Amino acid sequence: MEALVFMLPAFIAALIIAGIHCYLGLHIVSRGIIFIDLALAQIAALGYAFALILGYHIGDWQSNVLALAFAMAGSLLFTYAQPLERRMPLEAVIGIGYVVAAALAVLVLSFSSSGTEDFEHLAMGNILVVSWKTIIKTTIIYALVGAFHWIFRKKFVEATFSRNENRSKLWDFLFYFSLGIAVSSSVAIAGVMLVFSYLIIPSVFALMLFNSIKGRLICGWIAGFLASTLGLLASFKFDFPTASTITVSLGLLFIASIFIGAKMGRFGKNDMRRQAVKSGDQINAFKEGTIT
């Protein structure tokens, strides 16, 4: 019983992180910019690194502001780097952003007496020690991001699925920035690696098995919740690192989805054509606010 009480805050935190990140992850995978979340998470972590050497702690409002400011700068960079797609994949720019931010974090934290431990905390997080105050604050932030996306869903869907190179950069920036807001809050709790896992793996799992947006969201949420539960229980029972254990649990579910999808005939040409047609209908329904 004591173990369940101890793990309850971590379990709730994992559920709310999985909830918002699955939705954002569906946008990311559809845009084909898989590592944008990893890059923004690392850029936000760089903001936390500067906060640490300035004497603040992760969770202080000053640290949160710095992380958010860095995430905003990264959002601007990736928005205005999109025209480079004519000459190179945007993933190349995203990769450069990630590796430079990671290297800068190492350099910045080298000025801290506990630099190695601080870097490990930013990379891996420590979801087991999350407080109820942090959970409430993070839930409010996620709710605001979710409400913003719902209110302007038509614009975000058009920005994600439009292939028009002359489309407005505003909604691309707002997507990246809202993603940065969610990610900067998540990194403080779960670390860069687990945040990336929550954004991508449940979304890909859902895309393997479902055509409809509603089906993908529900499937992604269930996958995230199940992997979180299995990972936390295994971590507690066998004294494994929590973030790594949840990530491996997500990876195992992804492997299972490949076999399930193949068994269902999800990867045949006819199914892919049906998926393309139905996905177009689902996008229009989502824009009108009727998710089916």
Fill in the amino acid letter for 44: A
Give the integer Cα–Cα distance in Å for 249 and 251: 5
pLDDT band, very low/low/confident/very high, at 277 (cuts 50, 70, 90)? very low
Residue 271: per-residue pLDDT: 52
Domains of the chain: 2-287 (1.10.3470.10)
Is the pLDDT at 41 greater than 80, yes or no?
Answer: yes
Map the chain to HEC letters. CHHHHHHHHHHHHHHHHHHHHHHHHHHHHHHCCCCHHHHHHHHHHHHHHHHHHCCCCECEHHHHHHHHHHHHHHHHHHHHCHHHHHCCCHHHHHHHHHHHHHHHHHHHHCCCCCHHHHHHHHHHCCHHHCCHHHHHHHHHHHHHHHHHHHHCHHHHHHHHHCCCCCCCHHHHHHHHHHHHHHHHHHHHHHHHHHHHHHHHHHHHHHHHHCCCHHHHHHHHHHHHHHHHHHHHHHHHHHCCCHHHHHHHHHHHHHHHHHHHHHHCCCCCHHHHHHHHHHHHHHHHHHHCCCCC
Is the pLDDT at 274 greater than 50, yes or no?
Answer: no
pLDDT band, very low/low/confident/very high, at 290 (cuts 50, 70, 90)? low
Residue 215: per-residue pLDDT: 86
Whole-prediction pTM value?
Answer: 0.81
Question: Cα 254–204–67 angle (5° rounding)?
Answer: 105
Q: Report which of residues 66 and 169 the model is more confident about.
A: 66
Phi first, then psi, for residue 58 (nearest 5°) are: -60, 125
Residue 276: per-residue pLDDT: 45
pLDDT band, very low/low/confident/very high, at 166 (cuts 50, 70, 90)? low
Spatial neighbors of 170 by CB under 8 A, at least 6 apart, are none
Tens of pLDDT, residue by residue over 80-119, are 887 777 777 888 889 999 999 999 998 998 888 776 677 7
